[in-house]
Chains A and B, each alone.
Chain A
Amino acid sequence: MTIEFIFAEHVRRIVRSGKKEIEVPEGARISSAAADLIKEHSLQLKTVAPASISNPPQAAEVEPAVSNEKATVEKETADSVKSADAPSQSPVSADMSEAEIEAIVNRVLERFQQLKDKPHQKEPLVEAVSKDTQESQTADDDLIICRCEEITRGEIKEVIRNGIRTMNGIKRITRAGMGLCQGQTCQNLVARILAEELGLSPADIDPTTARGPVRPLPLAVFANS
Chain B
Amino acid sequence: MPEKADVVIVGGGVMGCAIAYNLAKEGLKPVVIEKSDIGGEASGSNGGGVRQSARNLKEMPLAMESIQIYGQLHEELGMDVEYVRQGNLRLCTSDDEMESMRQAVENQKKVGLHLEMLDRNQVLEINPYVGEKIIGASFCPTDGHVNPFLVTYGFFKKGKGLGARFFTHETVQEIRMQKGRVSGVVTDKHVFDTDLVVDAAGVAGRKIANMVGLDIPMRPIFSEALITEAYPPLFQQMVGHAKGLFYGRQTAHGSFFWGGFVGTEQFIYREGKPLFHYIGPTISQMVIDFFPALKEINVIRMWSGLIAQMSDAIPVLGYTSEVPGFVFATGFSGHGFGLAPVIGRLISELIMDCKTSIPIHDFCYGRFYKGADTECACSGNAVCNTMTAVCPNKREWLRSI
Q: A168-B44, A172-B149 are in contact. Are A223 and B285 (CB under 8 A)?
A: yes
Bound form: Cα–Cα A212–B298 in Å: 12
- What DSSP secondary structure best describes chain A's contact surface? loop
**Contact mask A160-184 → B, CB, 8 Å, 1/0?**
0011111011001101001110100
Which of A159, A163, A217 lies in contact with B299, CB distance below 8 A? A217
Bound form: Cα–Cα A163–B40 in Å: 13
Q: Are A222 and B280 in contact (CB under 8 A)?
A: yes
Within 8 A of B (CB), among A125-159: 159
Q: Are B299 and A213 in contact (CB under 8 A)?
A: yes
Q: Are B288 and A217 in contact (CB under 8 A)?
A: no
What is the CB-to-nearest-CB distance from B245 to chain A, in angstroms, rounded to a whole number?
15
What is the CB-to-nearest-CB distance from B280 to chain A, in angstroms, rounded to a whole number?
6
Which of B37, B166, B253, B297 lies in contact with A219, CB distance below 8 A? B297
Query: From A222, which residue of chain B is reached at the shortest CB distance?
Result: B284
What is the CB-to-nearest-CB distance from B150 to chain A, in angstroms, rounded to a whole number?
7
Within 8 A of A (CB), among B218-262: 226-229, 253
Which of A162, A164, A178 lies in contact with B301, CB distance below 8 A? A178
What is the CB-to-nearest-CB distance from A97 to chain B, in angstroms, rounded to a whole number?
60
**Contact mask B164-190 → A, CB, 8 Å, 1/0?**
001011000000000000000000000
Which of B36, B285, B300 lies in contact with A216, CB distance below 8 A? B300
**Contact mask B332-354 → A, CB, 8 Å, 1/0?**
00000000000000000000000
Which residues of B sit under 8 angstroms from A212, Cβ to Cβ?
A: 280, 302
| Interface residue A89 (Cβ < 8 Å from any Cβ of B) | no
Which residues of B sit under 8 angstroms from A213, Cβ to Cβ?
A: 280, 299-300, 302
Query: From B153, which residue of chain A is reached at the shortest CB distance?
Result: A173
Which residues of B sit under 8 angstroms from A169, Cβ to Cβ?
A: 37-40, 44
Within 8 A of B (CB), among A201-225: 209, 211-213, 216-220, 222-225
What is the CB-to-nearest-CB distance from A51 to chain B, in angstroms, rounded to a whole number?
41
Q: Are B288 and A223 in contact (CB under 8 A)?
A: yes
Which of A172, A175, A179, A220 lies in contact with B39, CB distance below 8 A? A172
**Contact mask B184-217 → A, CB, 8 Å, 1/0?**
0000000000000000000000000000000000
Which residues of B sit under 8 angstroms from A216, Cβ to Cβ?
A: 229, 298-300
Q: Are A223 and B281 in contact (CB under 8 A)?
A: yes
Residues of B in contact, count (CB < 8 Å): 36
| Interface residue B384 (Cβ < 8 Å from any Cβ of A) | no
Query: From A181, which residue of chain B is reached at the shortest CB distance?
Result: B300
Which of A173, A211, A223, A225 lies in contact with B149, CB distance below 8 A? A173
Bound form: Cα–Cα A178–B253 in Å: 11
Q: Are A165 and B168 in contact (CB under 8 A)?
A: yes
Bound form: Cα–Cα A175–B226 in Å: 16
Query: From B294, which residue of chain A is reached at the shortest CB distance?
Result: A219
Q: Are A211 and B37 in contact (CB under 8 A)?
A: no
Bound form: Cα–Cα A216–B297 in Å: 9
| Interface residue B287 (Cβ < 8 Å from any Cβ of A) | yes
Q: Are A219 and B40 in contact (CB under 8 A)?
A: no
Bound form: Cα–Cα A180–B284 in Å: 18
Which residues of B sit under 8 angstroms from A222, Cβ to Cβ?
A: 226, 280-281, 284, 299
Q: A165-B169, A211-B303, A222-B281 are in contact. Are A217 and B298 (CB under 8 A)?
A: yes
Which residues of A sit under 8 angstroms from B253, Cβ to Cβ?
A: 175
Which residues of B sit under 8 angstroms from A175, Cβ to Cβ?
A: 253
Within 8 A of A (CB), among B290-319: 294-303
What is the CB-to-nearest-CB distance from A179 to chain B, in angstroms, rounded to a whole number?
8
Which residues of A sit under 8 angstroms from B168, Cβ to Cβ?
A: 163, 165
Bound form: Cα–Cα A225–B299 in Å: 13
What is the CB-to-nearest-CB distance from A42 to chain B, in angstroms, rounded to a whole number?
36
Bound form: Cα–Cα A179–B229 in Å: 8
Bound form: Cα–Cα A64–B288 in Å: 64
Which residues of A sit under 8 angstroms from B226, Cβ to Cβ?
A: 222
Bound form: Cα–Cα A168–B40 in Å: 8
Bound form: Cα–Cα A159–B156 in Å: 11
Which residues of B sit under 8 angstroms from A218, Cβ to Cβ?
A: 295-299
Bound form: Cα–Cα A65–B280 in Å: 56
Which of B40, B157, B160 lies in contact with A166, CB distance below 8 A? B40
Which residues of B sit under 8 angstroms from A220, Cβ to Cβ?
A: 284, 288, 295-296
Q: Can you list 7 A-B pairs with a CB-CB distance of less than 8 A?
A: A162-B160, A172-B149, A173-B149, A211-B302, A213-B302, A218-B296, A225-B281
Q: Could you list 14 further interchain pairs (A-B, Cβ under 8 angstroms) beyond the known A163-B168, A172-B153, A175-B253?
A: A162-B160, A163-B160, A164-B38, A166-B37, A168-B40, A178-B227, A178-B301, A179-B300, A216-B300, A217-B298, A218-B297, A219-B298, A220-B295, A222-B281
Q: Which 6 A-B pairs have the closest CB atoms?
A: A216-B298, A223-B284, A169-B37, A223-B285, A172-B149, A220-B295
